[in-house]
Amino acid sequence: MIEIKGLAKKFAVENPKKLSEQEKKDPRLKGRYFHSVEDVSFACEAGQVLGLLGPNGAGKTTTLRMLSTALKPSAGTVEIKGVDVLAQPLVARKKLGFLSGATGLYGRLTGRENISYFGRLHGVPDQQITDRIDELAALLDMHSFLDRRCETFSTGMKQKTAIARAVIHQPEAVILDEPTTGLDIMATQTVLDFIRRLKQQGIPVIFSTHHLDEVDELCDRVTVIDQGRTRFDGSLGAFKALSVGSLHQSFLSTLQPGE
Q: What is the pLDDT along the chain (259 residues), one digit of tens a residue?
A: 899 999 999 999 888 777 778 778 889 999 889 999 999 999 999 999 999 999 998 999 999 999 999 899 999 999 998 899 989 988 998 899 998 877 689 999 999 999 999 999 999 999 999 999 999 999 999 999 999 999 999 989 999 999 999 999 999 999 999 999 888 999 899 999 999 999 999 999 999 999 999 999 999 999 999 999 999 999 999 999 998 878 999 999 999 654 4
List, in sequence order, every residue forming a beta bridge with 206; answer none if it has no partner: 50, 175
146 inside domain? no
pLDDT score for 182: 82
Letter for the amino acid at 193?
A: D
List, in sequence order, every residue forming a beta bridge with 163; answer none if it has no partner: none
Distance CA 48, CA 56 (A): 25
75 inside domain? yes
148 inside domain? no
Total domains, the chain: 1
Distance CA 196, CA 201 (A): 9
90 inside domain? yes
147 inside domain? no
Letter for the amino acid at 184?
A: D
CATH number for position 31 = 3.40.50.300
Distance CA 114, CA 130 (A): 12
Distance CA 177, CA 26 (A): 24
Instruction: Report the half-sphere exposure of 153 (CA within 13 A, side-chain side).
Output: 30
122 inside domain? no
Q: What phi and psi values does residue 59 have, to the nearest 5 degrees?
A: 115, 10
Instruction: Report the half-sphere exposure of 38 (CA within 13 A, side-chain side).
Output: 17
pLDDT score for 24: 83
Letter for the amino acid at 21?
A: E
Per the structure, the complete domain to which residue 50 belongs is given by 2-102+175-254
248 inside domain? yes
**Among the listed residues 177, 103, 194, 180, the one whose alpha carbon sits nearest the alpha carbon of residue 141:** 194
